[in-house]
Amino acid sequence: MTDPILEVCCGDIDSVLAAAEGGAARVELCCGLAEGGFTPSAALIEAAVQCGIKVNVLIRPRGGDFLYSRREKDMMLRDAGFAAGAGANGIVCGALLSDGSVDTAFCRELAQCCSATELTFHRAFDLCADPLKALDAIADLGFSRILTSGLAPSALEGAPMLARLSDYAGGRIRILAGGGVNPGNAARILSLGKADELHASARAAIASDMEYRRAGVSMGVPGADEYSRLSTSAEIVRQIVNAMKSTI
């Protein structure tokens, strides 16, 4: 088995650069992290693939559930094709049917339109009805890995299920553990969950350089601070990577 690697979830170009600087092996590129992530812009995809790190692009048209209309599916196919054509290393995607099973027909469409790239099934997996049956279906579709918290609020809480999934997979597909991963728990998640890879945002607050500031106006959530943002920290990435090395 190869040594475990870190994937960092990045929502801006500075985060991609920080992930590379901190020693991450790969990034998942998206926007709207506060809502679980959406497909990033074309310009961000094109910029990220020039940063010297593997870039896997999230294909998700909206928040909420993972039951998609045909119109949404057609949009996702176009986004996936663009990302692959722009040089992305892989695509991060997933879809479910109303009964909680994997939408294998649509996932096959996605796989066929991105045949030259890796495929990661994202945390839609954590909302499936039967995780072992879902794992079989995803592996049979040719996906490289499953991003999962072990069907729990965090990867540490889901470690027993992560270990079960890893044992059940038997090397057919990699288990990418994500959800609350940080320098303080990364080693425990790897050890208890038997994960092949870890996924973290590794973010810290960045203060704005704005001199003029208008108080009391928020662009999104009421009361949100518009003069700070969360972005990946190279130092936090480095700390997680070092914690992971301690388990080797």
Q: For 31-56, how does the pLDDT look when each residue is reduced to its tens digit (9 = 90+)?
A: 999 888 999 999 999 999 999 999 99
Q: From CA 67, how far away is CA 65, in angstroms rounded?
A: 6
pLDDT at 180 over 60: yes
pLDDT at 190 over 60: yes
Q: Which of 133, 176, 130 is nearest to 155 (CA)?
A: 176
Which is higher by pLDDT, 245 or 26? 26
Position 225 scores a pLDDT of: 83
Every domain of the chain and the residues it spans: 5-208+222-245
Position 248 scores a pLDDT of: 65
pLDDT at 228 over 90: no
The overall average pLDDT reported for the chain is 94
CATH architecture, domain 5-208+222-245: Alpha-Beta Barrel (3.20)
pTM of the model: 0.94
Q: From CA 10, how far away is CA 45, in angstroms rounded?
A: 11
Position 217 scores a pLDDT of: 85
Position 94 scores a pLDDT of: 97
